[in-house]
Amino acid sequence: MDERPGGVVAIYPGSFDPITCGHLDLIERSSRLVDRLVVAILRNENKQPLFTVEERIEMLREVVAPYPNVEVDSFDGLLVDYAAGRRATVIVRGIRAISDYEYELQMALMNRRLRPEIETAFLMAGEAFSFISSRLVKEVIGLGGNIAGLVPPGIEAKLKKKFMTGKEELR
């Protein structure tokens, strides 16, 4: 996809297993701050994801369809190298609570050391979403709880389907 010369390109990286309403809120808000936002799914996770990368790409593409300057991609290796390859100058991350801060600070400082020209920008999670995580969403639905309003509607259906097959275990 074209990267406009002079336009600000930002990467919003993560596992998105699955995308939650908190992620979507961050995508919507950060897409207003930059010319192009690339939502980038990490490929080489150590933990076994519930959804394959291809399933997550498809789900994310559906959800970001209303935002013309947002695209979905996946990446391997160092985030900052991927960002540089996409000519991005900003990495966007969300902070929900103080408990997120230490991990995010470590990553931001390491990324800055690796490529000082790329800045990490933090957005505070929307207050309505600050307790939501992909891990808890999977735990709740896996135990039969109601996740309406925690993930976008299409994603809820996909999660239900995944758990109803009985083939996937909660990880």
Active site residues: 23, 47, 96, 134
Q: How many CA atoms lie within 13 A of 77 on its CB side?
A: 7
Q: Does the protein bind ligand PNS through residue 74 (CB under 6 A)?
A: no
Q: What is the CA radius of gyration of the chain?
A: 16
Question: Which run of H or E residues covers position 82?
Answer: helix 79-85
159 within 8 A of 147, measured Cβ to Cβ: yes
CB 15 → ligand PNS: shortest distance, Å?
4
From 7-15, 55-63, 142-150, 160-168, give the range in contact with ligand PNS by CB under 6 A: 7-15
> Which one of 11, 14, 63, 70 is in contact with ligand PNS (CB under 6 A)?
14
From 1-9, 31-39, 107-115, 119-127, give the range in contact with ligand PNS by CB under 6 A: 107-115
Q: How many CB atoms lie within 10 A of CB 170?
A: 12
Q: Does the protein bind ligand PNS through residue 38 (CB under 6 A)?
A: no
Q: What letter does residue 148 receive in the DSSP assignment?
A: B
Q: Would you mind telling me the total number of residues written for the chain in this entry?
A: 171
> Which one of 84, 107, 123, 136 is in contact with ligand PNS (CB under 6 A)?
107
Q: How many CA atoms lie within 13 A of 154 on its CB side?
A: 12
Of 35 and 45, which has the nearer Cβ to ligand PNS?
45
- Measure the CA–CA gap between 62 and 108, rounded to whole angstroms: 29
Question: Which run of H or E residues covers position 137?
Answer: helix 134-142
Q: Residue of minimal CB distance from ligand PNS?
A: 14
> Which one of 24, 42, 59, 72 is in contact with ligand PNS (CB under 6 A)?
42
Of 118 and 147, which has the nearer Cβ to ligand PNS?
118
Site residues, ligand PNS (CB under 6 A): 13-15, 42, 78-79, 107, 110-111
